[in-house]
Amino acid sequence: MPFAEALFEDVRKRTADTVGVSREPYGTGEQTAVDAVARAGGELGLEIKHDPFGNVYLTMPGRDRSAPGWITGSHVDSVPLGGNFDGFAGVVAGLTALAAFRKAGLAPQFDVTVMGIRAEEASSWYGGAHDGHIGSRAALGLLPTAELDSAVQSRTGTSLREQMRKAGFDPDAVGRGKPYLDPARYCGYLELHIEQGPVLEARGFPVGVVTGIRGATRARSCQCIGSYTHSGAVPHEYRSDAVMAVVELVRELDLEWERVREDGGDLVFTVGKLYTDAKVHALTKVPGEANFVLDFRSQDDAILQQVRVAAERLALEIGQRRRVRFDLGSFSLHRPAAMDPEFRRTLLSGCQDLGIRAMEIPSGAGHDAQDFAHAGFRSAMIFVRNSHGSHNPDEAMAIGDFAFGTRLLAWKLLQGA
């Protein structure tokens, strides 16, 4: 695939960091990627548009321009020191499909627009209160204006609003008038993305058809407060041991997770941070404080609700019994996004027609596709097998697997919804 490989390599080189690539949202790296995408689109003779938020749109006109067209793409930014394929593969796949149409002299029945989306990885660069996915949510009318000020560049302290303006875009257009992207004008959104987990690789499938994108309910700053005291001199009944209480809470939630799996429910549960206070803790002190986080993800709203309630109930019960006070803080809630059932079905049958071995798979990570689904677009995702996970410079996608995924995408883009 010389077209795709050249585009991957061009952008990789020009956004390379000490290791991997860095394409900061509304920064130099992201702009470099957008420019390369626009240039490639120009060379293919596509119509080029930009929205006020810096997203780029490259359209190949369909034979019937009045009918709703396809939108496909993914994000062009990356995490710091990330891999070259996370996000960018979806944009390259769309352009590669259009290049193939051009080469074969095919005109699709409906308009096909490849979208290069900004700032999907904003959570890795901006602190403060925001939910990431800035580019897609801005274009879809899902970005609350408050996030423009509450999202703050972690390194510089610059607000997202200021940073967007500096980059030459119009933050004041956020939430103004109708959304830039109107679901009525599109037959659907398709996104190809590398799988960010190990499932396709472990099970030997080059391609996955995504069933849905897990939502998440999270508590970012949980605390358990007990009392520091002498580890030898204080018997069990006089302790307020924060670690033992958190351990019991997390273990009970782990067992709850096991029950959900046994019932066939979709759930992952992670305690990514758990720590006693390094300034105070000691081998010979009963710990008086423990800090932790909770991250539950599921395709099923009801399961997210169930585990959140379980966490709160257990914290109360264990706290009283163990003479400690739990403060779980508030739980954020990101709703799951189901992929369009009809799209999923046709993509699977496409795999059969094209001889591509594929499996159905949930997406545990968030993607722009979830925002399109929440905005009322019929949406689907194609996962491509990838080694070493994602959000690191070691991600590894074989170009052959990318070709399978791109072929499936192109096949679908040639159809109406």
Q: Closest separation between CB of residue 379 and a second copy, Å?
A: 18
Interacting span for a second copy (CB under 8 A) from 2-10, 63-71, 169-177, 214-222? 214-222
299 binds a second copy (CB under 8 A): no
Binding flag, residue 241, a second copy (CB under 8 A): yes
**Contact between 323 and a second copy per CB under 8 A:** no
Distances in whole angstroms, Cα of residue 294 to Cα of each of 15, 246, 277, 348, 349: 34, 11, 18, 35, 38
Binding-site size for a second copy (CB under 8 A) equals 56
Q: Which two tokens stand for residue 338?
A: 């189901």
Which residues 6+ apart lie within 8 Å of 320 measured at CB?
none
Q: Which stretch binds a second copy (CB under 8 A): 27-35, 114-122, 184-192, 238-246?
A: 238-246
Whether residue 62 contacts residue 113, with contact meaning beta carbons closer than 8 Å, is answered with no
Q: Contact region for a second copy (CB under 8 A) — 5-13, 23-31, 223-231, 397-405?
A: 223-231
Among 235, 262, 330, 355, binds a second copy (CB under 8 A): 235
306 binds a second copy (CB under 8 A): no
Site string for a second copy, 245-264 (x = CB under 8 A): --xx-xx--x--x---x---
Nearer of residues 66 and 284 to a second copy, judged by Cβ: 284
Going from the C-alpha of 46 to that of each of 43, 68, 187, 259, the distances in angstroms are: 8, 18, 19, 52
Strands (E), 285-341: 285-286, 289-298, 325-327, 332-334, 337-338
According to the binding rule CB under 8 A, does residue 272 interact with a second copy?
A: yes
Question: Any idea how long the chain is?
Answer: 417
Interaction between residue 271 and a second copy (CB under 8 A): yes
- Is residue 243 near a second copy by the rule CB under 8 A? yes
Does 182 participate in binding a second copy (rule CB under 8 A)? no
> Per rule CB under 8 A, is residue 415 in the interface with a second copy?
no
> Rounded to the nearest whole angstrom, what is the least distance from the CB of residue 27 to a second copy in the complex?
21
**Residues in contact with a second copy, shown as a per-residue x/- string from 194 to 213 under the rule CB under 8 A:** -xxxxx--x-----------
Would you say 141 or 364 has its CB closer to a second copy?
A: 364
CA distance 34 to 86: 15
User: Which residue, 99 or 200, is less far from a second copy as judged by CB?
Assistant: 200
CA gap 44, 103 in Å, rounded: 10
The only residue of 25, 68, 135, 389 in contact with a second copy, by rule CB under 8 A: 389
Among 64-72, 144-152, 290-298, 402-410, which window interacts with a second copy (CB under 8 A)?
Answer: 290-298
State the minimum distance, in angstroms, from the CB of residue 270 to a second copy: 4
Q: How far is the CB of 400 from a second copy (least distance, A)?
A: 22
- Backbone phi, psi, residue 99, to 5°: -60, -40
Residue choice 232, 263, 279, 355 for contact with a second copy (CB under 8 A): 232
Residue 232 neighbours by CB distance under 10 Å? 8
Residue 398 contacts by C-beta under 8 Å, 6 or more apart in sequence? Answer: 206, 385
Q: Of 91 and 290, which has the nearer Cβ to a second copy?
A: 290
DSSP letters spanning 85-140: STTHHHHHHHHHHHHHHHHHT---SS-EEEEEE--TTGGGTEEES--S-HHHHHHH
H-only helix segments in 178-328: 199-203, 242-262, 301-322
217 SS3 class: strand
- How many Å apart are CA 189 and CA 382, to the nearest integer? 11
The answer to whether 178 contacts a second copy (rule: CB under 8 A) is no
Which one, 216 or 303, has the nearer CB to a second copy?
216
User: Taking CB under 8 A as the rule, does residue 158 contact a second copy?
Assistant: no
Question: Which residue stretch of 35-43, 164-172, 204-212, 280-288 sits at the interface with a second copy (rule: CB under 8 A)?
Answer: 280-288
- Phi then psi for residue 338, to 5 deg, are -80, 140
> Given phi > 0 = left and psi -120 to 50 = alpha, else beta, which region is 381?
beta
> Residue 156 corresponds to which amino acid?
T
d(CA 194, CA 389): 9
Residues that bind a second copy (CB under 8 A): 195-199, 202, 214, 216, 218, 220, 229-236, 238, 241, 243-244, 247-248, 250-251, 254, 257, 261, 268, 270-276, 278, 281-287, 290, 293, 295, 297, 363-366, 389-391
